[in-house]
A and B are shown apart, each in its own frame.
Chain A
Amino acid sequence: MIGDNLPALIVVIPLLGAVIAPLLGRGQGPWWLATVVCSTVLALSGLLLTRVLAHGTLSYALGGWVPPIGIEYRVDRLNALVLLIVAAISAVVTLYARLSVAKEIAPERLRFFYSAYLMCITGLLGITITGDAFNLYVLLEISSISTYILVALGRQPQALRASFNYLVLGTIGATFLLIGIGYLYLATGTLNMTDLAVRLGEMSHNRTVRSAFAFIIVGASLKLALFPLHAWLPNAYTYAPSAVTALLAATATKVGAYILLRFLFTIFGLELSFATLRADVVILLAASVAVIVGSLAAIRQDDVKRMLAYSSIAQIGYIALGIALVSVTGLSAGILHLFNHALMKAALFLALGCVAYRINSTNIRDLHGLARRMPWTFAAFTAGGLSLIGVPLTTGFISKWYLLRATIERGWWPLAIIIIVGSLLAVVYVWRVVEAAYFHPPAESAKAIHEAPAGLLLPTWALVLANVYFGIDTQLSVGTATAAARALLAAAGGTP
């Protein structure tokens, strides 16, 4: 019974958690609830992935209503992998949140924080699992609105402005998506993704469909923060509480990439997306600029948190670049980097959160000489940074390997150069932090600083080790990503 209802449980459990959390009072109750919920979801999504890998795509009719009348939850390799990422990262971040959030958020707000937190995760999981376009929009709004709340809970007053900014842009993006989905409904009379894909097959010259395509791609790119639609991201990441930043960086943008993949490949198909409307050219251009501009902007930041935020924009560029290469290798590279980047960015933001926990600042000048006081924290940061650069034996290397292969395979040398330049720029911004922390003499006030508590270090190191592990044993990541890429391309109309 549980086994059959797996897809529904993955969304329902955190949703119930979000409702119950505020009732649990001011103590640690809400946190315990979140921990239990997130670890259950992680276990379930692991189970789901093994099932999908063993038996192929799963279809689940929500409430017993047969699709396309009811809402269908549809799990294939791609979203099973994304579900696992979201579930795993949120489980680790929840463990981390207890100390980190308790320090950054007033105790009387804690229960509401965890409620919004679980709601956000509900939304992200739901977007990923659903097979219904309108349902996707609803869940997108659920996750977005709870994200605005989470960002606004940041300590500094700027958090409010960052949240408002995100609210405005996020709403525009969601509205675009809604308009696009509405047009699709108008043109085809269905909201079920599988149905849409079938009916859209012969409608590539329909203007309504084409406008829908434009609206949806822009809306999804906004959620993904693809250049030049990234304006909301730096402030939101910088001013949100540490744990929230890690969660958002590792999951929210990844789900955005998933939406893009789903619409481009499964729903619209290769013919419409790439042969007729040439979305690949647009995305390639945007992604290339994102890699370079994001990295350059990262170098210029003094706030390390903001630096990592700009680095995220560049890394999102890599993901989009892989997607827009529209080949098995390229698509695998994109999906792979989606997985790998979630691991490395979460590790980096958590390590930075350890610093913020001790010194209440993330400015690079305040990090001077801190590596001696907080050796484990900075070792974690450096390891995450090496992964970001793409040093062998880390996940970053595997991503770079596939991305580069995909570009060389096509003979697109300018893109190969952009990928390489992006990694070299990553060396520069990572090393600025390393030099500051390891080589500059510490300030007088830094003498009294101690290593971060184990409650923060353990989750951080779990992610760092995951970065190394998936840099060596790539069976899960590469295997699933390649299989998902093949399936996506096959379903979208063969290899171009």
Chain B
Amino acid sequence: MIAALAVPLVGALLIVLAGRKPNLRDAVTLITATTLFLCVASLTPDVLAGARPRVALAQILPGMSVALAIEPLGMLFALVASFLWIVNSVYSIGYMRGNRESKQTRFYAYFSIALAATIGVAFAGDLLTLFLSYEVLTLSTYPLVTHKGTPEAIRGGRVYLGLLLSTSVGLFFVAIVWTWQLTGTLNFTTGGILSGRASPLVAGILLVLFCFGIGKAALMPLHRWLPAAMVAPTPVSALLHAVAVVKAGVFTVLKVVVYIFGLEFLQGNGAADVMVYVAGATIVIASVIALRQDNLKRRLAYSTVAQLSYVIMASLLLVPWSVVGAALHIAAHAFGKITLFFAAGSIYTASRKTNVSQLAGIGRRMPWTMGAFAIGALTMIGVPPTVGFISKWYILLAAMDSAHSLVVVVLIVSTLLNAAYYLPIVYGAFFQSAPRTDLHGEAPLPIVAATVACAAGAVLLFWLPGLPLALSWDIVGGAR
């Protein structure tokens, strides 16, 4: 478990040392990513068998330590993140070389640190460790967002850092200290720690503080950092701002709801309902905004904002089905959205096109990329045979189960909106004709291979959802 945290950090160090030799450096990145995945994967059987390993690293304050502990939700998140890192590394190498980006050593090094922080978030044994990793993740991704160093990148970086730090310090941190004050512990415990220690009013306030304080979950109106982060090179947008960073946000929300509050304790609390509606509103509004974005990456970013709120909404429905749906959606959206970003980067690398309006007919020149894009889009919409269908199905069941009719409406509207902003791109790419001036072909092989691999993953998980499903059910105690 400690190895999982140490591998990317050591990797970062080696990357810096190998900085002068690009081939060696890129090999180190790949090896680190693979080793990390193997480390994480080797822990899975034990966790499935019911083990909950725990390691205390350091005692920071009396009665409070930095500790790692694995439970099924963290396991799922770590598996997804570390697996996609391998694919992303292949992609990065193609992308960074293909676009002749500068300062690649720094790029890979910070990337590794960000992954270490992500694993820290996933395996955090208590809220303090989680907060710590969460902040490291913010800080280590800042240089990646501002990688290009242009005034635009600096502005984006300011919004990014400003929003994420001010929410985490201003709300999240306060909520953590308050929780500590109430309970004297911050450990993630099945059934929650606040039950019986906080009045419904205090619990409601805490929930609001947590939901908005975890700015990485991009709940409106605190979502602005995510579109701002799109100035980063595409691999960063793909792995970090579709998987690691944003998922760290919703993962934290889900974890707090399940292990700090406890589902039963929150049931009937008005604040949970209010937050469900905030999340629902975020889904609809972000989808409408996405519809109007011409820049492809920005459209994807707003789509992410909407999809993240699916997870928040689902976790706050507070029934076992919904938690399973939320956990699955973390994985489903990860595969789908990374495919879409990979495709966007592939298009940029091959043709320098960044806007939706320029994509007419591009499917004929880049069939693999756009084929993968289509699968990614179907995952977002939630059409079988993609994994997006399964998670949406669970959320829908949960909504009916908990009699939240409005949530059902939101799901339907959002599915339609998703279709409305993704399908025209796919249609245009394959069935309209391209300008004659376009002479480019597919992007370099590593890029295309990674893109297709992720799309294949999204389909494969539909047919073989055993592992993520098993882990998700374990979160709520295995009652199927």
Interface set of A (CB-CB < 8 Å, partner B): 386, 389-393, 398, 400-401, 404-405, 408-409, 416, 420-421, 423-424, 427, 431, 435, 439, 471-475, 478-479, 482
| Segment from B175-183, B225-233, B411-419 that makes contact with A | B175-183
Enumerate chain A residues within 8 angstroms of B43, measured Cβ to Cβ.
none
A456-B193 Cα distance, complex, nearest whole Å: 49
B139 near A386: Cβ-Cβ < 8 Å: yes
Q: Any chain A CB within 8 A of the CB of B399?
A: no
A392-B132, A424-B170 in contact; A474/B177 too (CB < 8 A)?
Answer: no
A404-B173, A423-B169 in contact; A474/B178 too (CB < 8 A)?
Answer: no
Enumerate chain B residues within 8 angstroms of A475, measured Cβ to Cβ.
59
A421-B174 Cα distance, complex, nearest whole Å: 12
B154 near A435: Cβ-Cβ < 8 Å: yes
Chain B nearest CB, measured from A367 CB (Å): 15
| Segment from B158-166, B286-294, B301-309 that makes contact with A | B158-166
For chain B, residues 121 to 177, give those with C-beta under 8 angstroms from any C-beta of chain A.
Answer: 128, 131-132, 135-136, 139, 146, 149, 154, 158, 161-162, 165-166, 169-170, 173-174, 177
Nearest residue (CB) in B for A382 is: B139
A389-B62 Cα distance, complex, nearest whole Å: 22
A427-B165, A439-B146, A474-B61 in contact; A420/B131 too (CB < 8 A)?
Answer: no
A392-B132, A392-B135 in contact; A420/B170 too (CB < 8 A)?
Answer: yes
A474-B160 Cα distance, complex, nearest whole Å: 31
Chain A nearest CB, measured from B144 CB (Å): 13
Q: Using an 8 Å CB-CB cutoff, how does the interface string of B251-272 with A read, 1 for contact, 0 for none?
A: 0000000000000000000000
A473 near B58: Cβ-Cβ < 8 Å: yes
Given A427-B169, A472-B60; 4 other pairs, CB 8 A cutoff: A400-B173, A408-B177, A427-B166, A482-B62
Q: Which 10 A-B pairs have the closest CB atoms?
A: A392-B132, A404-B177, A420-B170, A408-B181, A439-B154, A424-B166, A392-B135, A423-B169, A405-B177, A472-B58
Interface set of B (CB-CB < 8 Å, partner A): 58-62, 66, 128, 131-132, 135-136, 139, 146, 149, 154, 158, 161-162, 165-166, 169-170, 173-174, 177-178, 180-181
Enumerate chain A residues within 8 angstroms of B165, measured Cβ to Cβ.
389, 424, 427
Enumerate chain A residues within 8 angstroms of B58, measured Cβ to Cβ.
472-473
Enumerate chain B residues within 8 angstroms of A408, measured Cβ to Cβ.
174, 177-178, 181
9 contacts between A and B (CB under 8 A): A390-B169, A391-B139, A392-B132, A404-B173, A405-B181, A416-B174, A474-B61, A475-B59, A482-B62
A444-B105 Cα distance, complex, nearest whole Å: 26
Enumerate chain B residues within 8 angstroms of A473, measured Cβ to Cβ.
58-59
B177 near A401: Cβ-Cβ < 8 Å: yes
A475-B60 Cα distance, complex, nearest whole Å: 8
Chain B nearest CB, measured from A401 CB (Å): 7
Best-buried of B61, B146, B154 by chain A (most CB within 10 Å): B61
Nearest residue (CB) in B for A471 is: B60
A420-B170, A478-B62 in contact; A409/B181 too (CB < 8 A)?
Answer: yes
Chain A nearest CB, measured from B68 CB (Å): 15
A427 near B170: Cβ-Cβ < 8 Å: no
A391-B131 Cα distance, complex, nearest whole Å: 10
Enumerate chain B residues within 8 angstroms of A423, measured Cβ to Cβ.
169
Nearest residue (CB) in B for A421 is: B170
A401 near B178: Cβ-Cβ < 8 Å: no
Enumerate chain A residues within 8 angstroms of B132, measured Cβ to Cβ.
392-393
A142-B136 Cα distance, complex, nearest whole Å: 45
A474-B276 Cα distance, complex, nearest whole Å: 40
Enumerate chain A residues within 8 angstroms of B60, measured Cβ to Cβ.
398, 471-472, 474
Chain B residues touching A, majority SS:
helix
Enumerate chain B residues within 8 angstroms of A431, measured Cβ to Cβ.
158, 161
A421-B62 Cα distance, complex, nearest whole Å: 27
Residue in B61, B139, B174 whose CB lies within 8 Å of A398: B61
A408-B198 Cα distance, complex, nearest whole Å: 14
A420 near B174: Cβ-Cβ < 8 Å: yes
A401-B60 Cα distance, complex, nearest whole Å: 11
Nearest residue (CB) in A for B153 is: A439
Residue in B59, B146, B162, B173 whose CB lies within 8 Å of A427: B162
Chain B nearest CB, measured from A376 CB (Å): 14
Residue in A405, A471, A472 whose CB lies within 8 Å of B180: A405
B131 near A392: Cβ-Cβ < 8 Å: yes
A478-B64 Cα distance, complex, nearest whole Å: 12
A116-B84 Cα distance, complex, nearest whole Å: 62
Enumerate chain A residues within 8 angstroms of B170, measured Cβ to Cβ.
420-421, 424
Enumerate chain A residues within 8 angstroms of B158, measured Cβ to Cβ.
431, 435
Nearest residue (CB) in B for A393 is: B132
Enumerate chain B residues within 8 angstroms of A482, measured Cβ to Cβ.
62
Enumerate chain A residues within 8 angstroms of B61, measured Cβ to Cβ.
398, 401, 474, 478
Chain A nearest CB, measured from B60 CB (Å): 6
A74-B312 Cα distance, complex, nearest whole Å: 58
A420 near B169: Cβ-Cβ < 8 Å: yes
Best-buried of A392, A401, A416, A482 by chain B (most CB within 10 Å): A392
Enumerate chain B residues within 8 angstroms of A392, measured Cβ to Cβ.
128, 131-132, 135-136
A424 near B174: Cβ-Cβ < 8 Å: no
Enumerate chain B residues within 8 angstroms of A398, measured Cβ to Cβ.
60-61
Nearest residue (CB) in A for B150 is: A439
Chain A nearest CB, measured from B252 CB (Å): 14
Chain A nearest CB, measured from B277 CB (Å): 26
Chain B nearest CB, measured from A268 CB (Å): 30
Enumerate chain B residues within 8 angstroms of A439, measured Cβ to Cβ.
146, 149, 154
A408-B180 Cα distance, complex, nearest whole Å: 10
A321-B166 Cα distance, complex, nearest whole Å: 22
Enumerate chain B residues within 8 angstroms of A391, measured Cβ to Cβ.
135, 139
Enumerate chain A residues within 8 angstroms of B128, measured Cβ to Cβ.
392
A146-B55 Cα distance, complex, nearest whole Å: 52
Nearest residue (CB) in A for B162 is: A427
Nearest residue (CB) in A for B154 is: A439
Enumerate chain B residues within 8 angstroms of A474, measured Cβ to Cβ.
60-61
Enumerate chain A residues within 8 angstroms of B146, measured Cβ to Cβ.
439
Nearest residue (CB) in A for B161 is: A431
Nearest residue (CB) in B for A411 is: B181
Enumerate chain B residues within 8 angstroms of A427, measured Cβ to Cβ.
161-162, 165-166, 169
A84-B161 Cα distance, complex, nearest whole Å: 36
Chain A nearest CB, measured from B343 CB (Å): 30
Best-buried of A401, A416, A421, A423 by chain B (most CB within 10 Å): A401
Chain B nearest CB, measured from A404 CB (Å): 5
Enumerate chain A residues within 8 angstroms of B181, measured Cβ to Cβ.
405, 408-409
A474-B139 Cα distance, complex, nearest whole Å: 23
A102-B60 Cα distance, complex, nearest whole Å: 40
Enumerate chain A residues within 8 angstroms of B135, measured Cβ to Cβ.
391-392
A435-B159 Cα distance, complex, nearest whole Å: 13
Chain B nearest CB, measured from A339 CB (Å): 14
Nearest residue (CB) in A for B138 is: A391
Chain B nearest CB, measured from A410 CB (Å): 10
Enumerate chain A residues within 8 angstroms of B177, measured Cβ to Cβ.
401, 404-405, 408
Enumerate chain A residues within 8 angstroms of B173, measured Cβ to Cβ.
400, 404, 420
A408-B179 Cα distance, complex, nearest whole Å: 10
A424 near B161: Cβ-Cβ < 8 Å: no
Chain A nearest CB, measured from B65 CB (Å): 11
Chain B nearest CB, measured from A424 CB (Å): 5
